[in-house]
Amino acid sequence: MSTVDKTQVTSINTQSISYTVLIGATGGIGQEIAKQLCAHNRPLVLVGRNTQTLAKLHSELTQAYPNAIIEAKACDLSVPASQDELVMALGDLSRVTSHNSVPNQIDTVILNAGINDFALLTDQSDALLEQMMLVNVSYPLQLIKRLLPILIAQDKPSQVISIGSTFGSIGYPGFSAYSASKFALRGATQALGREYSDTQVRFRYFAPRGTKTTMNSDAVVQMNEELKVNMDAPEHVAHALVKFMEGKNTSQHLGFPERFFAWLNRIFPSVVGNAINKDVPTIKRYAQRRA
């Protein structure tokens, strides 16, 4: 596993360092989350698969926030050995003691890695469908399974935040595989919160709506414009996430009317379905572009 050097710290630490571990740090939302965390003086561990992109982000952040405590760890979540190396490094980091021999800890783990594909199911390959579930659900669960012993053993509370989606509460045409993966992530997060309710580890779920990043194709952006569907800037999502981190709610859905429809879909799914079905011709027209 590749490790990027830590930033220079201008003074000796006299208190325990509480790290936030950001999985998927190099994506559009991930980079903005990293900036917001640094701006809020949160010691940070950046985790990403692409070593060069990770190093570039690390360099930019250390220049912008010279007094920040920032680590960067390269990890390919699809490789179990790479996950093991990351967990070992995080375990070592949490065991390091500060100047007064108080052990550091992992305060927050943000599960932000994910992929998307806007297309009709019949146009998606079996390999892509499998990859969607692996990246969005299986790999995060595998990593948390490895991290839990470290989090549970700590003296202080910690939290795991899964970055979901509005489509984890509303099945949406053109996003059937993505919706399935985010529904699964939401269910797993809820189940883990109950499974480990007798520990100091909290599991929380944060669901943005459509966001203006390269993860969404031109077809998605144009479709949303035609359907008058709002999309948020990644800076807005990151700001809301940092605020959510500091709160106590188990989950949060961003944006209106998406937040309302996520609630309504649990109670009266046919009402939401009828509203969406009117847009299916437009959705299919854009989905078939695969742009």
Judged by DSSP in three states, 104 sits in: coil
pLDDT at 281: 96
CA nearest to 188, candidates 209, 164, 166, 158: 164
Model confidence at 13, pLDDT cuts 50, 70, 90, reads very low
pLDDT, tens digit, 9 for 90 and up, residues 22-38: 999 999 999 999 999 99
Can you give the pLDDT at residue 103?
77
pLDDT the model gives residue 216? 87
Q: For 157-190, what is each residue's pLDDT tens digit?
A: 999 999 999 999 999 999 999 999 999 999 999 9
State the pLDDT at residue 291.
Answer: 47
Per-residue model confidence (pLDDT) at position 100: 53
Quick one: which H or E segment has residue 214? none
Encode burial over 239-264: b for 16+ CB neighbours within 10 A, e otherwise: bbbbebbeeeeebbbbbeebbebbeb
pLDDT tens-digit map of 68-113: 999 999 999 999 999 999 999 999 887 765 555 667 899 999 999 9
Give the separation between CA 187 and CA 207, rounded to whole angstroms. Answer: 13
* Domain count across the chain: 1
Over residues 33-44, the mean pLDDT reads: 96
Q: What is the pLDDT of residue 1?
A: 40
Residues spanned by the domain of 196: 3-287
Q: Are 252 and 207 in contact (CB under 8 A)?
A: yes
Mean pLDDT (the chain) is: 91
Which pLDDT belongs to residue 50?
94
pLDDT band at 214 (very low <50, low <70, confident <90, very high): confident
CATH code, domain carrying 255: 3.40.50.720
pLDDT tens figures, 127-159: 999 999 999 999 999 999 999 999 999 989 999
End-to-end CA distance of the chain: 34
Q: Picking from 7-11, 81-85, 217-221, 240-244, which range would have the lowest pLDDT averaged per residue?
A: 7-11
CA distances from 162 to 81, 114, 120 (A): 22, 11, 26
- What are the φ and ψ backbone dihedral angles of 95, each rounded to 5 degrees? -90, -15
